[in-house]
Chain A
C-alpha cells in the first residue's frame, strides 16, 4: 500500500514537473534561452484560474481559456521585455532578467491576490477513491494522463504541421531559416508564449491538490529546471521521462527512508546523473549550454 500510493503520487507530480520542464525545452530549442520565471507562470495559471472561476464566477471552460490566454500573453511579454533585448546583444543577462521578472510577478500577485493561501475547489479532489488499498484523488490519476497527452500533442504539432516544422528549422539554423522566409523573431515569441501556457496548465491542474498562493511556483520552477537538465534540454520525450523519474524517486525516497533525506538524496542524484551524462540522460551534446 505504501509503495503504491507513493507511485501514484510520484507519477502525478512527476508529470507536472515534466510539463513545466517542456516549457524550458520549447524555448531553449529555438533560442538557447529559457524563462526562469517559469515557476511564477505556474503560479499565474493557478491564481488567474481561481480569480476567473471562483472570484468572478465565469463558467469553467471560459475561465480556463481566459487563464491560458493570459499566460500566453505573459510569455510574450517575458520574451519581448526580458529576453529579446539581451539575446539581441549576445548577452546572457536574460538569465537574471527573467529571475527578477518572476520575483516581481510573485510580489505583485501577493499585493493584489492577497497573502493568504486559498483553496481551489475541484470535484476531482474531494472524495478519495480506493486504488488497490491506497486512497487517491481522481485528479491524481487524471494529471499524468493529461500530462502525457499534452506532451504527445506537442510532439505531433512539431513534426507534422507547418508551424512546427518552421520551429524545427529555426532550431537547426536560424540564419538559413530566416532566408527561407521564416519569421524567426515570431517563432521565438511563440515558443515563449507556449512555454508559459504549459506552465499555466500545470498550475491549473496542481492547484486543487495544493493551494493557490503567490509563492506556490518557486519549488516547481526549480524542480522542473532540474528535470529539464536531467532529461536533456533538447529532448522532449527525455524530459517527460525524467519528470516521471524525478517524481517517483522523490516519493519513494520519502516513503522508504523518511522525509528528512528527500531533498538531499534527490538533488544528489541529479548531480550524479549529470556527472555521468553531462548532456542529460536522453539529450544529445549541445553546442552551447546555459
Chain B
C-alpha cells in the first residue's frame, strides 16, 4: 500500500461515484418506461432467460445512453415463469396490472406464451415473443392482435429445413426423427407438409423419448425405408443419443436439425460426430460480423465480464432476437408518441427501416403478419467445438 496505491485508487473512486450517479438517474419511477419480461429464469431452461435478459439489457442501455424515447428512459422488470404456463400468466398479469409495463417480452416455452396470448390481447398491451417458435403464438386469430414476434416460426422452420436439405444435400427422401411430445408432433405435420410441397416422399417418421438410450432401432427402420437425409426435432440430450446411435450403426447420413441441440453441450454429449449436424438459428456471433454485430458483442463483453469467448454468447438466438425486439419496440413507441397500447399496436405496423443485429428490417411488421423474421432470415449452423458457426465455416 502507500501513497502510490491510494493515488491509483482515486480514479476508481471517481468512476464509482459516476456510476452511482448514472444508476441513480433512472430510478425516478414516473420518468421511466417500464418493459416486462416473462421467461424461464430458473430450472432446465434458465440459460435461455439469461440470454434474453442480456439482449434486452444491452439494447436498453444503448437507448438510454442516447436519452431514451419521448424524453424517458427504459427500465426492465423481470418475472420467472418457471416454464409453467399458469405461473407465466400470473406473472404477465402482475407486470401489466401492478408494474404498469407498456409492453412485455416472452421466453423460450411455447406453452407459456400461448397461455399469455389471450391476456395480452384482452388487456391491449403488446406482447413480443423473442424465442418460442410455436406457430399459433402470433397467428392466434385475434381481431386486434397485440402479439408480435422476433424469432423463428415452427411452420416456416420446417419449410426452411427442407429447402436447405434439398439445396445442400440433394435430399430426395427425408426421414423424420422426432421427440415424442407436442413439439415433435407439430413439426411432424409441418415437415410432412413442406416435403409434400416439394414432391418429396417421406421415408418415415420415428419417435423417441427424452431418456431413450438407443435409437438404433428407429434409425434402422428409416435406413431400410430409404431415407437419405434425417430431420431432427429434439433438445440436446436425445439429439446427442441420435448422433451416438448413428455412430454405432456406422451410418453416415446428413442430419438437418431444429434449434434444440444449440441450447446445451451437444459435442460433449454426442461426441465429435455431433459437429456434422446442421441446425437452424436466427443469428451467430461467429465469423465476420456486421458493424452492429461488433458493437453488440463489445457491449455484451463490457457489461458481462463472464463473457470471454464466443462460446459464452450461446445461445445467440436469445440475445439477438431480444436485442432487435427491444429496439423495434423503442421505435414503435417513438412513432406512436405515446405508450398507450392501441396506439402502440398501430405504430408497430408503421416502423422501419431499422438496421438491426439479425438483418435490416424494411417493414418488420404489417397487418396480417406480426412476425418480423421470415424463412429467408434463418441461417444454418453447426457446432465447432463449443462454438456455433454458420455452415461452411
Contacts and interface: CB of A to CB of B under 8 A. Distances in A.
Interface of A: 1-2, 5-6, 9, 13, 110, 115-119, 126, 128, 134-137, 206, 209-211, 213, 215-216, 218-220, 251, 254-255, 258-260, 263
Contacts of A135: 216, 247-250
Contacts of B386: none
Which of B206, B209, B214, B237 lies at the interface centre, i.e. has the most chain A CB atoms within 10 A of its CB? B214
Q: Which 6 pairs across A and B sit closest by C-beta, in order of nearness?
A: A135-B248, A255-B217, A254-B217, A9-B214, A128-B248, A117-B237
Interface stretch (B91-99, B132-140, B218-226): B218-226
Most buried by A among B45, B46, B208, B269: B269
A48 to B, nearest CB: 19
A259 B247 contact: no
A259 B207 contact: yes
A13 B248 contact: no
Contact of A5 (B46, B216, B268, B271): B216
A119 B302 CA distance: 32
A211 B237 contact: yes
A128 B43 CA distance: 34
Given A135-B250, A219-B209, A259-B180, A116 B265 contact: yes
A196 B269 CA distance: 26
B195 interface: no
A60 B194 CA distance: 50
Given A116-B265, A117-B265, A128-B250, A5 B211 contact: no
6 contacts: A5-B220, A116-B265, A118-B269, A135-B247, A206-B213, A210-B211
B352 interface: no
Given A13-B214, A128-B250, 4 more contacts: A5-B217, A117-B236, A135-B248, A255-B217
Interface string B36-49: 00000001111100
Given A116-B265, A119-B265, A260-B207, A210 B213 contact: yes
B214 A115 contact: no
A6 B265 contact: no
A126 B248 CA distance: 9
A2 B220 contact: yes
Interface residues of B, number: 34
Contacts of A209: 213-214
A1 B250 CA distance: 13
Contact of B241 (A5, A134, A210, A213): A210
B264 interface: yes
B248 A255 contact: no
Name A's interface SS.
mixed
Given A128-B247, A219-B209, A254 B218 contact: yes
Contacts of B43: 110, 115
Given A115-B46, A119-B268, A6 B217 contact: yes
Contacts of A119: 240, 265, 268-269
Given A117-B269, A119-B269, A259 B217 contact: yes
Most chain B CB within a 10 A radius of its CB, from A1, A135, A215? A135
A211 B220 CA distance: 22
B214 A251 contact: yes
Contact of B237 (A206, A213, A260): A213
A6 B269 CA distance: 22
A18 to B, nearest CB: 15
A148 B168 CA distance: 49
Contacts of B249: 5, 134-135
A149 B322 CA distance: 55
B268 A118 contact: yes
Contacts of B265: 116-119
Contacts of B224: 2
A281 to B, nearest CB: 25
A100 to B, nearest CB: 19
A110 B218 CA distance: 30
Interface in B265-283: 265, 268-269, 271
A2 B245 CA distance: 13
Nearest to A218: B211
A117 B207 contact: no
A211 B240 contact: yes
A219 B216 contact: no
Contacts of B241: 210-211
Contacts of A137: 248
